[in-house]
Every structure is written in C-alpha cells, then in structure tokens.
C-alpha cells in the first residue's frame, strides 16, 4: 500500500506587511528627475522611523514593565512614567508616514513641472 504525498494548498489569504511609502505617488503631476533622490530619501527615512518606532516602543514598554514589577512605590511610579513617555514617543514615530505624506502632497505641487 503506497501513501499519497500530502498536497498543500495555498492559503486563500496572504499576510503581507506593506509599509506605506511617502514617495510621489499621490502628486497630480510628475516632479523633476532632480527631486527624485529627495523623495527616495523621504521614503527611506519614513520606513526607518516606522521600524525604529516599533523596536523602541517594544523596548520601552519592556523596561516600563520591569520597573512596575520591582518592589517599591518609586519604581511603580517610574514605570508608569516610562510607559507614558514610550507610548507618546511611539505614536510620534509611527505617525511620521502621515506627516511626510502631508508635506509631500502640500509642497509637492509647487515643485511639479
């Protein structure tokens, strides 16, 4: 008796991590070729800030949780302060994509040819 090999079907839904780019995709015109490196730099900085925001947020909340777990009222108070500052900083870093897209959409029309 021979066994048939298992055939794996492809998943119907695929999970993709899509980082929104701040490139000139939403401009109503084409910018000059001289400004393309600037848009590429903004795109790279936005992606770096997104990844850095996730990493720093994770480390910050881990540090805050360690402070809360330590005995003493001062450590608990310091842990809450670190957690609050971490959440504020993470929100700022993760919203950099929105800020860059707004700036390129508003200022991008003035550099179009």
* 53 belongs to a structural domain: yes
pLDDT 10s digits, 1-15: 566 655 555 544 433
* 3 belongs to a structural domain: no
pLDDT 10s digits, 38-69: 878 878 887 887 888 889 899 999 999 999 99
How much is the pTM?
0.57
**Structural domain total, the chain:** 1
* 76 belongs to a structural domain: yes
**Residue 18: per-residue pLDDT:** 36
Is the confidence at residue 24, as pLDDT, over 90? no
Q: Domain limits at 56?
A: 34-107
* 56 belongs to a structural domain: yes
* 88 belongs to a structural domain: yes
Highest mean pLDDT among 32-36, 89-93, 97-101, 109-113: 89-93
* 8 belongs to a structural domain: no
**Residue 16: per-residue pLDDT:** 35
Closest CA to 54 of 92, 28, 25, 16: 92
| Residue scoring higher pLDDT (12 or 21) | 12
């Amino acid at each position: 008796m021979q066994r048939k090999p298992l055939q794996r079907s492809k998943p119907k839904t695929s999970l993709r991590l899509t980082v929104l780019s701040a490139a000139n995709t939403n401009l109503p015109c084409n910018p000059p070729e001289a400004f393309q490196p600037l848009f590429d730099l903004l795109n790279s900085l936005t992606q770096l800030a997104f990844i850095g925001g996730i990493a720093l947020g994770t480390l910050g909340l881990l540090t805050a949780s360690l402070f809360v777990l330590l005995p003493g009222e001062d450590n608990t108070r310091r842990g809450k302060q670190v957690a609050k500052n971490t959440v504020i900083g993470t929100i700022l870093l993760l919203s950099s994509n929105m800020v860059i897209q707004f700036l390129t959409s508003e200022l991008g029309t003035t550099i179009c040819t």
